[in-house]
Structure 1
């Protein structure tokens, strides 16, 4: 194999198999000399791939964990498996991996060959996930189109269905995708209405990145999550003044709560306190607080306190059966 770039790619593909490769076996696989393998290993190291060599009569090479994540080479089956998994994580707003899934999926689908995109879509359509909450799942392709438009600062067009079913066509400057843990929202500047708007992604269809670039406008709030929270508070849903004390550091709690609930403040005791206005139901709030996985005390509102008390009793009785 005389084509150096192609040989390096084949060598890297072999090294990404979790095993140690003797230099002689690599040379035989690639039809080159052991000296060429040593030079190619040095080239990979120069490119940032941490290749470790073992000493001995035979000697061997293996790819080890490094300080940075180097590019990966995937075969067809591996690429399809990862894409399907990312779609599941992105399409149903799985807490903790949802936004990362969208970013990774957008990058992967950008380079997937057409034949593999077809296989991914076929698998996706042939499976039925068990959703939670109100079952408001979204098409991962919608998310990836939106994520690409946000990253590329491209104007976005789409069809939108309001809560009462009224259809409309929108042209926006997308700012951020925000996950609340069970729903996706797009925060964007609506060009036709000359104002900031939030859109439930499960109500969006036919998204299209126009290619027209824009300079990001200044948000009227501190960040996109705060703007979404204010928008939900104006939606007419009942608001709750949430006041909860956690027996855990603020950083621990903040990492396990949706950004729309705000940031907890640290207490001298080592715990933290969350005070926020939320339009989520008390049932959902109770579940989200419990999923933080630490002791907490609900100071308000009274409805949330009563629901948590009743829920804890039901769970205790269920565990005793």
Structure 2
């Protein structure tokens, strides 16, 4: 709300956008979205409307904040052991798990390639000529072409889907993450299979999160041990690690404004046009699995 007002939106309109408008959109305005008889609402009182300066907060009828100060104790959530043991990989991964074998020894072949779009969940279904060296498809920074893999991580099935991705901007190294909508398997993007394996194994070691690797060295990571999605560290610590990881990614060549968001949607197979899961490439326009090669 504060940011919207800073960008010129009328304060009342900005508040309307996040209250009654949202409730009406999801058709729950009979219960939520306004402070009125018969409705459910927590209440935020402001001392300055345009600056959205919070003075008092009521939650479930209890004053949680008064005069800008917290008035209640917030208990630390204790998560069960099984919530912290969700990265289950069938073995220690190595470079062979990320190599894409071609039908030729040397040369060029046509392949289906995922084309990313910055600040968007959309992808493009591209057909590109790619290089084959020693029987393996290789990443090519001159074409902004990277290797990508999705590893099933909930039941240790051993499923690994492999593919190619264009537009992420990496010149070196690899990045791995357990934030991969909606199945949240382990997704790895990289310029060489060795760094990809190191990044993936580091993810297993920290029980989920995001890891960046270059020249066989872990350069940055954000641990997300709760379901591979949530941190158990203070927000100040997590924020610092995320900023560092973003800086590392830029040093590795990525210029996307929303790199982590783009990466997290690459495996969401219900969205067009081309995706990748632990079963392989998915043509989500034609609703079918397809081979890497044309």
Same fold flag (TM > 0.5): no
Relative to the length of structure 1, the TM-score reads 0.20
The answer to which structure has the higher strand fraction is: 2
Q: Computing the radius of gyration over CA atoms, which structure comes out larger, 1 or 2?
A: 1
The answer to which structure has the higher helix fraction is: 1
Higher RCO, 1 vs 2 (CA within 8 Å, ≥6 residues apart): 2
Relative to the length of structure 2, the TM-score reads 0.21
